[in-house]
C-alpha cells in the first residue's frame, strides 16, 4: 500500500487515487498555526476500480486553537473501498469542526465505506462539532459511520490514580491509549515513531 502524508493547511486539496493508498493527515505543529480562522478542505476521488483507501487523522488541538476541516470521499466507480479514521484530542478552549462526507454515486456497486470520528474533550471549554454525512445512490454497498465525543472516562482515571499515578500522568496515559489503535494502523514506521514522540506529553505538563 502506498503511503502519502497530507499537511493540514488552509487550502483545498484534491487527491485522485489510482492505487491502494494510506493517507496520513499531519497537523502543522508550528506555534498558533490554527489560531486564526481556517477552513481546510480535503477531497478524495475514487475514479479507478479496485482501489482501496485508508485515511488516518490523529489530531491534537490545544492552546486555544480552532480547526474547521472537511473531508470528502467520492466513490465514482465500482469495487472500491475507503476507511476514514479520525481521532482528536481537544484541550480547553480549543475546538474542532469536522465534516466527513462519503458520497457513493449511482455506478459504484460493491463499495465499502466507513468513517469513524472520535474526540476526547479534555477540560472546560473544549468543543466539538461533527457532521458525518452519507449520500448513497447505489444499493450494492456497505456504508457506515460513527462519531463520538466526550471526556476521559472518570472511572479509568480514578483507577490509574489509585495505582499511584498523579492526575496528569493518568490523563496522559489514557490519551495515549485513545490514540493508540490509530497510530498502530500507520504503515510507515518513521511517521509512526515521529507521531508517538510528538504525542508524548512531558510528564509534569499540566493538562487542565
Partner 1 sequence: MPGEARRGLSRQVVEEISSLKNEPKWMRDYRLKSFAYFTEKEIPDWGPDLSKVDFNDICYYLKPLDKEKRDWNEVPEKIKKTFEVLGIPQAERDYLAGVKAQYDSEVAYSSLQKEAEEEGVIFLSMDQALKKYPSLVQEHFGKLIPFSDNKFSALNSAVWSGGSFVYIPKGVKVKRPLQAYFRLNARNMGQFERTLIIADENSFAHYIEGCTAPVYSADSLHAAVVEVYVKKNARLRYTTIQNWSGDVYNLVTKRAGVEENGVMEWVDGNLGSRVTMKYPSCYLIGKGARGEMLSLSYAGENQNQDAGAKMVHLAPNTSSIIVSKSVSQKGGVSSYRGLVEMSPIAYNSKSHVECDALILDSKSFSNTYPVMRNNNNTSYIEHEASVSKVSDEKIFYLMSRGLSKSEAMGLIVSGFIEPIIKDLSMEYAVELNNLINMEMEGSVG
Write out the residues near partner 1 by the rule CB under 8 A. 106, 109, 119, 121-151
- How do strand 21-26 and strand 2-7 relate by DSSP bridges? parallel
CA atoms within 13 A on the CB side of 80: 29
Outline where the chain has alpha helix (H): 154-162, 167-185, 189-199
Q: What is the C-alpha separation between 96 and 103, in angstroms, rounded?
A: 22
What is the closest distance, in whole angstroms, from the C-beta atom of residue 61 to partner 1 in the complex? Answer: 13
Find, among 26, 78, 79, 21, the residue nearest to 54 by Cα. Answer: 21
In the complex, the smallest distance separating the C-beta of residue 159 from partner 1, rounded to whole angstroms, is 19
Nearest Cα residue to 187 out of 16, 21, 42, 27: 21
With respect to partner 1, which residue has the nearer C-beta, 110 or 187? Answer: 110
For partner 1, the closer of residues 12 and 133 by Cβ is 133
Shortest distance, position 205 Cβ to partner 1, whole Å? 19
Q: Is the CB of 58 or the CB of 132 nearer to partner 1?
A: 132
Nearest to partner 1 of 45, 123 (CB atom): 123
Query: From the CB of residue 179, how many other CB atoms can be counted at a distance below 10 Å?
Result: 20
Shortest reach from residue 150's CB to partner 1, in Å = 4
Distances (CA, A) of 198 to 22, 132, 161: 20, 28, 24
136 vs 199, which CB is nearer to partner 1?
Answer: 136
Smallest distance from the beta carbon of 172 to partner 1, in angstroms?
Answer: 17
Amino acid at each position: 500500500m502506498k503511503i502519502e502524508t497530507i499537511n493540514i493547511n488552509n487550502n483545498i486539496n484534491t487527491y485522485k487515487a489510482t492505487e491502494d493508498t494510506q493517507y496520513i493527515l499531519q497537523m502543522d505543529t508550528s506555534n498558533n498555526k490554527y489560531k486564526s480562522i481556517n477552513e481546510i478542505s480535503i477531497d478524495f476521488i475514487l475514479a479507478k476500480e479496485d482501489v482501496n483507501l485508508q485515511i488516518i487523522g490523529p489530531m491534537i488541538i490545544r492552546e486555544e486553537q480552532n480547526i474547521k476541516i472537511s473531508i470528502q470521499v467520492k466513490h465514482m466507480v465500482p469495487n472500491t473501498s475507503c476507511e476514514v479514521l479520525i481521532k482528536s484530542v481537544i484541550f480547553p478552549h480549543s475546538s474542532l469542526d469536522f465534516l466527513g462526507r462519503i458520497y457513493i454515486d449511482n455506478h459504484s456497486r460493491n463499495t465499502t465505506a466507513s468513517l469513524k470520528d472520535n474526540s476526547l474533550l479534555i477540560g472546560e471549554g473544549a468543543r466539538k462539532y461533527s457532521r458525518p454525512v452519507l449520500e448513497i445512490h447505489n444499493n450494492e454497498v456497505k456504508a457506515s459511520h460513527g462519531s463520538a465525543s466526550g471526556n476521559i472516562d472518570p472511572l479509568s482515571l480514578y483507577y490509574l490514580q489509585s495505582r499511584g499515578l498523579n492526575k496528569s500522568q493518568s490523563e496522559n496515559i489514557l490519551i495515549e491509549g485513545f490514540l493508540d489503535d490509530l497510530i498502530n494502523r500507520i504503515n510507515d514506521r518513521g511517521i509512526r515513531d515521529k507521531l508517538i514522540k510528538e504525542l508524548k506529553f512531558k510528564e509534569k505538563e499540566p493538562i487542565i
